[in-house]
Structure 1
Amino acid sequence: MPYDGREIGKAEGDGMQEQAKPAFEAEARLVADCRNRLGECCFEDPRDGNLWWTDIEGSCVWRMDRDGNTARFMLPGRAGFILPRREPGFVIGFPKQLALADQSLSSFTRLHDVEPDLPQTRINDAEVDPFGGIVFGTFDETPQMEDRRPVASVYRLGPDGSLKRLFGDVIISNGLAFSPAGDIMYFADTPDGRIRRFRLGADFASLDEIEPLAGRDDAPGLPDGGTVDADGSYWSARVWGGCAVRFDDRGRITARIDLPTKAPTCVTLGGAGRRRLFITTLSTRHSAEELTDVPFAGGVFAADIDRPGLEQRLCTL
């Protein structure tokens, strides 16, 4: 879930640093008019080519096939993430519980409770790691933004089913992604605004933070969901910035995709040759006037881009 920085007095674009014009720019088009309250955690499933994503506040998961046909699956609770397994089915992050789901999303098996002693947090962003586990984070969803505190954490669900806390001091976990070689993990705590990098040891034997990829003022808005392409560049959905941008490994913006809504939430690469960027958005925290001006807020958008993405990794749990 994104962080509405406007509510704590930071105007959109304040302090943004000058950057050279990106080499690639495009406008995203609407591909699914699903009007999600909070679309998130999108991925293209390599098992069947379908695009999947969650509507967290709608307590449902959506699927879109290559022909653009969509289907909605209601869930027993809000899902911060859904990710595919090598076996049929998925791993789902409900607010306080990790669960296995069958392929039809009709049967759920509890794996772990998460932060039962922190009623104000819930599970949010996640990604399959290079070793077959899932790294996910929580966030403080206290209703008043100014009352949110760094009580959330980042965890790893191992391929053996074990659960390990990696680090804490987080408000809103987002932006999780991994480099093509599997040696770098990306992460963003949305209010902080940085896109952080960690060097990984084999099977998470070590996790060492290195220089951030980008700072708070390096792009419009704030970092929400992210993904990495085949060249190792990092795409960031810029919530309240109305765009998704691509950073190279030196933190330079090399591509920008603009949207007709200010609230993109997550990105993934798929389609033919994995050269299509899909972008989820939200419709909550918009005024009635804003929703009149942007009736497709909460939809899924896409743009064809100049470089391919990586195939979605599968959890081996």
Structure 2
Amino acid sequence: MSSVRVECAVKASALIGEGPVWEESGQTLLFVDIAGQKIHRWDPTTNRIQSVATGDMVGFAVPRRSGGYVAGVGRSIVAVDWSTQMMTSLAEVDEDKPNNRLNDGKVDPTGRLLAGTMAKEVRPAVVERQQGSLFSVTSGLTVTKHLDEVDISNGLDWSSDHKTFFYIDSLSLTVDAFDYDSNTGHIGNRRVVYRMEEGEGLPDGMTVDVKGNLWVACYDGGRVINIDPATGVRLQTVSLPVMKTTSCCFGGRDYTDLYVTSASVGLNQSEWKHQPLAGDTFRVTGLGVKGRPSSSFSG
């Protein structure tokens, strides 16, 4: 096996770093600081970070085919014009739940956005249960609710043939799979493909590699685990120098680097002393596997 190396790539010191997306067009890494209310874009060539303030908690940001980005800010799906730093609301979700916010979101291979909600946290990972939902947004901005009574809607991705949708509701301590119809966006036949083990923490953000295996960031577990969803077997564990690992994506020119975000919110003085890199984003190399380019929202 290749020699795996973990290094700090982005000194972001995010309160809750999340949702990394590698932008193929600009060879840049897009990620958000949820509680810091910012979208960040990092250029590895110059090591420069550009940021846009969102004015409310931001759960995700993804590229948009027509230019700019689409982000989940508060309970709004918004269009982000990076050059002007202006945001325009495209759709609202959970209008009947003002204490909710959008969390993780990702675009399916056809350009449809899927994004989930959760109640605002009392403290890290402590929420009013079953307040969240999972929605999809089409190119025509039609919003459909697929799941409700979700605790913390989190990681999501698709199999290479687009027929399986992988999904994480963090407090369930499982990684689930659904049958997926990419034409209609319909999901069904929910089943568990992996159940978290003692000490692995909460399943958070997730990505899929070209072999179809899952890479799951483990919040309060200080690791990313590699899972074969066909067998439910954990293939590999990558340990990080921080406990609150939040999400991950593949990037770099050939998609062989795994970028992992982390959080610093809620750490006490002793925990800060033992993990001074909390909130930074890490690059993992030497995994011997490639990821896939991300999809852009078609709306």
Q: Deviations over 1:190-232 (max 9, x none)?
A: 1111101011123235311343110132771110000111111
What do residues 89-121 of structure 1 show as CA deviations (whole Å, max 9, x unaligned)? Answer: 110101111111113261111111211211221
Provide the secondary structure at the position in 1 that maps to 2:183. Answer: helix
For residue 67 of structure 2, the aligned residue among 73, 88, 91 is 88
Contact 2:208/2:215, CA 8 A, preserved across alignment: yes
Contact 1:36 1:283 in 2 (8 A): yes
Q: Is the 8 A contact 1:180 1:310 kept in 2?
A: no
8 Å contact from structure 1 (residues 25, 255) kept in 2: no
The answer to which of 53-62 and 109-118 deviates more is 109-118
- Partner of 1:289, secondary structure, is helix
**What TM-score do you get using the length of structure 2 for normalisation?**
0.94
Secondary structure (helix, strand or coil) at the match of 2:294 reads coil
Query: 1:257-314, CA deviations, whole angstroms, 9 ceiling, x for partnerless residues?
Result: 1111111000000013100000000001211111122111000011112100001111
- Measured in 1, the distance between the counterparts of 2:107 and 2:114 equals 6
Letter in 1 for 2:296: L
Q: Which residue of structure 2 aligns with residue 251 of structure 1?
A: 232
Partner deviation per Cα, 1:44-72 (whole Å, 9 max, x = no partner):
01221110100011111111113232222
Equivalent position of 2:174 in the other structure:
194
2:106 pairs with one of 122, 127, 147: 127
- What is the alpha-carbon distance in structure 2 between the residues aligned to residue 268 and residue 205 of structure 1? 23
Distance in 1 (alpha carbons) for counterparts of 2:112 and 2:207 = 17
Asked if 2 retains the 8 angstrom alpha-carbon contact of 1:81 and 1:126, the reply is yes
Q: TM-score, normalised by structure 1?
A: 0.88
Counterparts of 1:147 and 1:274 in 2: how far apart (Å)? 35
* 8 Å Cα contact 1:86/1:315 also seen in 2: yes
Distance in 1 of aligned mates of 2:218 and 2:144? 29
Task: List alignment gaps of at least 5 residues for structure 2.
Answer: none
Does the C-alpha gap of structure 1 residues 198 and 117 become closer, same or farther in structure 2, counting only changes over 3 Å? same
2:48 corresponding residue in structure 1: 69
- Alpha-carbon deviations, 1:107-155, whole Å to 9, x = none? 1111112112112211000010122110000012251666611021000
Are positions 1:106 and 2:88 aligned together? no
The answer to whether the 8 Å contact 2:99/2:119 transfers is yes
Counterparts of residues 15-54 of structure 1 (less than 5 Å): 26-54=4-32
Aligned to 2:291: 309
SS at match of 2:4: strand
Taking the aligned partners of 1:138 and 1:146, their CA distance within structure 2 comes to 14
Distance across 2 between alignment mates of 1:218 and 1:179: 27
In 1, Cα distance between equivalents of 2:205 and 2:170: 9
Q: Partner amino acid for 2:27?
A: G
2:275 matched to 1:297? no
Separation in structure 2 between the aligned mates of residue 179 and residue 261 of structure 1, nearest angstrom = 29
1:156-213 residue CA offsets vs partner (Å, 9 max, x unmatched): 0111111110111101001111112111111111111110101112323531134311
Distance verdict in 2 for CA 1:146–1:225, change over 3 Å: closer
Q: Distance in 1 between matches of 2:20 and 2:203?
A: 15
- Paired with 1:148 and 1:31, the residues of 2 have a C-alpha distance of 34
Report SS of the residue matched to 1:40.
strand
In structure 2, distance between residues paired with 1:241 and 1:28: 16
Write the letter of the residue equivalent to 1:316.
Answer: S
What is the one-letter code of the residue matched to 1:129? D
> Between Structure 1 and Structure 2, how many residues are aligned?
295
The Cα RMSD (Å) is: 1.7
1 CA distance for matches of 2:228 and 2:84?
37
- For the residues of structure 2 that align with 1:35 and 1:98, how far apart are their CA atoms? 25
SS in 1 for 2:35: helix
The 8 Å contact of residues 57 and 101 in structure 2, kept in 1 or not, is answered as no
Which residue is 2:117 aligned to? Answer: 138
Specify which structure has the higher proportion of strand: 2
- 8 Å CA contact 2:207, 2:248 repeated in 1: yes
Q: Provide the secondary structure at the position in 2 that maps to 1:204.
A: coil
